[in-house]
Amino acid sequence: MTARRLDGTFAAGQIKDELRERVTKLREAGIVPGLATVLVGNDPGSQLYVAGKHRDCEAVGIESIRVDLPADATQDDVEAAIDALNADPACTGYILQLPLPKHIDQDAVIERIDPAKDADGLHPMNLGRLVLNAKTPIHSPLPCTPRGCIELLQRNGISLDGKHVVVIGRGVTVGRSIGSLLTHRSINATVTLTHTGTPDIGAIARTADVIIAAAGSASLVQPDWVKPGAAVLDVGVSRIEDPDTGKSKVRGDVDPAVWDVAGAVSPNPGGVGPMTRALLLANVVETAERSQL
Ligand SMILES: Nc1nc2c(c(=O)[nH]1)N[C@@H](CN(C=O)c1ccc(C(=O)N[C@@H](CCC(=O)O)C(=O)O)cc1)CN2
């Protein structure tokens, strides 16, 4: 069996087409949405992602503001950049590209973001709303990658209602928040969160209808971890040097042999990454729309 490909580039294109129309309406009403990014340092992956976000903004008509700080920026420098964006009326929402250099206190910077401008849904107030509003619709930004995972499944006709989802990884952008979203009444999944401290993750993963692999460990998920026919989302990113070309290439958490067992797999690249970017734009458009109410 070869699994169905859950094409994130295609689904993200659909979302961006929908958002372009909504941005046109906002502009007609005199509202110009603007996304800012804050990048500290010169991590090649982060630079690539930030550049992609600015291209996406241009494609849907969102203004974008880019704040790049050097790798030796101090805590005060980063916090000053945050304060400036909090005060900037041209900025509807912004993201602080993670990871930050080790000498920066990431939690303190995230807490300094104005929750109303938190395009990533990672501010404690927005994560708190996600946890508290388990029944009612959530009117605050949601974390982009978890939202992207769910949209990718839904747009491919894969329901999560009553399904057992095994999440692998407890990082801040995916693992720590996706369970709250998946168990929201409107989605209704049952979630097991596993991580490096979990004995025999494979035995747990084998019981899953859906596996969300977000560990950042290349080829961690092997075919014998997957129930035949299960859906597998490959979220984690590792950069491996190609011995032939010397260039770095992206490897996901899911071993290629999983495609012979699973019912559906998201490729990496080309799966959840583009969805993360599209849902970031959605968060900005929704924030701008809420400002009309
Ligand atoms: N503040 C945040 N920082 C980070 C997040 C996040 O959600 N918020 N997630 C990741 C990085 N990320 C978003 O910023 C991200 C990852 C991957 C992609 C993407 O489009 N990937 C392409 C491949 C590009 C490549 O060649 O590497 C794909 O999957 O097709 C976009 C955004 C960590 N930081």
Mutating to test ligand 1, I would choose from 43, 49, 110 the residue with most ligand atoms within 8 A of its C-beta, which is 49
Name which residue sits closest to atom 9 of ligand 1, judged by CA.
Answer: 173
Burial class (CB in 10 A: 0-12, 13-18, 19+), 54: middle
Asked if residue 287 belongs to a domain, the reply is: no
94 in the same domain as 214: no
- Point out the domain boundary residue: 103, 119, 135: 119
Model pLDDT, residue 278? 98
Asked if residue 140 lies in contact with residue 113, where contact means CB atoms within 8 angstroms, the answer is no
Domain around 158: 143-272
Element holding 42 (H helix, E strand): none
Q: Is residue 20 part of a domain?
A: no
Query: Which tens digit of pLDDT belongs to each residue from 154-191?
Result: 999 999 999 999 999 999 999 999 999 999 999 999 99
Give the residue ranges of the chain where pLDDT is below 50.
Answer: none
Residue 2 lies in a domain: no
pLDDT for 205-228, tens place per residue?
999 999 999 999 999 999 999 999
**261 in the same domain as 158:** yes
Residue 47 catalytic?
Answer: no
Measured in angstroms, how far is the CA atom of residue 29 from the centroid of ligand 1? Answer: 32
- The answer on 93 and 192 residing in a single domain is no
User: Is 66 inside a domain boundary?
Assistant: yes
265 neighbors 152 (Cβ within 8 angstroms) = no
105 and 161 co-located in one domain: no
249 is catalytic: no
pLDDT at 1: 66
Distance 49 CA to ligand 1 centre (A): 5
Mutate to test the pocket of ligand 1, among 43, 50, 173, 251 (most ligand atoms within 8 A of CB): 173
Q: What phi and psi values does residue 237 have, to the nearest 5 degrees?
A: -125, 125
Q: Does an H or E element contain 212, and which?
A: strand 210-213
CATH of the domain at 79: 3.40.50.10860
**Residue 13 belongs to a domain:** no
Q: Which of 83, 104, 119 lies at the terminal end of a domain, its last residue?
A: 119
- Residue 157 CA, ligand 1 centroid: distance in Å: 24
Helices and strands (DSSP H and E) totals, the chain: 9, 11
Question: Whole-angstrom distance between the N-terminal and C-terminal Cα of the chain?
Answer: 50
Same-domain pairing of 164 and 266: yes
155 lies in the same domain as 56: no
- Where do we find the tokens 């704040």? 67
Look at residue 247 in the predicted model and tell me its pLDDT. 87
Report pLDDT for 152: 98
Q: Which strands form 190-194's sheet, in the order they lie side by side?
A: 4-5, 264-265, 231-234, 210-213, 164-168, 190-194
Sign (positive or negative) of CA dihedral 205, 208, 211, 215: negative
pLDDT at residue 119 in the model: 98
Residues 213, 231: Cα–Cα separation, whole Å: 11
- pLDDT of 248 reads 87
Number of domains the chain contains: 2
Strand pairing category for 63-69 and 164-168: unpaired
Residue 239 lies in a domain: yes
**Judgement on whether residues 147 and 255 belong to the same structural domain of the protein:** yes
**pLDDT on residue 292:** 87
- The answer on 170 and 105 residing in a single domain is no
- Does the residue 24 lie in any domain? no
Residue 267: the pLDDT is: 98
Q: Are residues 156 and 244 in the same domain?
A: yes
Q: Are residues 225 and 193 in the same domain?
A: yes
Give the whole-angstrom CA distance, residue 92 versus residue 85: 9
Around ligand 1, the residues with Cβ closer than 6 Å are 45, 48-49, 52, 95-98, 120, 144-145, 173, 250, 268-270, 273-274, 276-277
Residues 267 and 148 in one domain: yes
> Does 158 lie in the same domain as 112?
no
Overall pTM > 0.90: yes
Q: What is the ipTM of this complex?
A: 0.96
Cα distances (Å, whole numbers) of residue 117 to 146, 188, 281? 19, 28, 13
Listed residues 54, 84, 119: the one ending a domain: 119
Q: 120 an active-site residue?
A: yes
CATH number at residue 188: 3.40.50.720
Backbone angles phi and psi of 64, in degrees to 5? -135, 145
